[in-house]
Amino acid sequence: MDRLTRLENDAVYIIREAYARTRATAVLWSMGKDSTVLLWLCMKAFLGRVPIPVIHIDTGYKFPQMYAYRDRWAAEWGLDVRVFACPEGTAVGPDHESKLECCTRRKTNVLRDALGSLGLESVLVGIRRDEHGIRAKERVFSPRGEDFRWDYMNQPAEMWDLYQSRDDAHHLRVHPLLGFTELDVWEYVRRENLELNELYFARNGRRYRSLGCMPCCSPVESDAATVDEIIAELSQSTVGERSGRAQDKEDAFTMQKLRSLGYL
């Protein structure tokens, strides 16, 4: 079995396990490459459809191309997209002195409200271990407490394919892509012929390698305008994937604090 097929099989197994084990689950979709691959794997897991809600946490600062991409593929794939946003008057913007506070109000708190509103016991999330050092500490089935916090010092052991869920967990974050690398994702996109957001592909010598809120993302220098060219570029790159993201959020201490508070 080749690597991509093994990763696909593992992810499909994890998705089905989450669906079978918990009373209600959903999948998060940011319109980025990883969560779009996760949606595609959900369709494979459920034979061509996504029978669970698809949650978009809308910060209000996404690129216009991301909203257009969401609407197009939600209609194409028949997705039950639920959009949740921070209530007016309770948010701060990316120009706030602390990106942590902005992310907490516009992402973490909104996700908490979404899970409560939908009565969810688990949520599928498209993070990968190689994406950030703090995310490398995650488990596939990751329990969150009543206060929405991630107790990264006391995580369940995961040996072989034995994924654990704790009875005292408020909800589970389930990570089917945890074993993928950035290069794996792009090679899988090529194999499956998936169409990703246009922002990933170079124009005038620049492209976005990681997508988030507009004020917190910067393009990287690149001439890679096709999937094949991006794969070739990544095969040689020594620059971190999230090098174009706001640094006061991406340093290890701040990211660990964000994730401990319930950040994605």
User: How much is the pLDDT for 17?
Assistant: 93
Beta-ladder partners of 143:
172
Residue ranges covered by each domain of the chain: 3-181+249-260, 196-245
User: How much is the pLDDT for 39?
Assistant: 98
pLDDT at 91 > cutoff 50: yes
Rounded CA separation 6/121 (Å): 27
pLDDT digits (tens, 9 = 90+) for 183-211: 999 999 999 999 999 999 999 999 999 99
Rounded CA separation 57/141 (Å): 21
What superfamily would CATH give domain 3-181+249-260?
A: HUPs (3.40.50.620)
pLDDT at 175 > cutoff 90: yes
Q: Which of 151-160, 170-179, 216-225 has the lowest mean pLDDT?
A: 151-160
Average pLDDT, the chain: 85
Mean pLDDT, rounded, for 85-90: 72
Name all contacts of 87-93 with Cβ < 8 Å and 24+ positions apart: 91/60, 93/61, 93/215
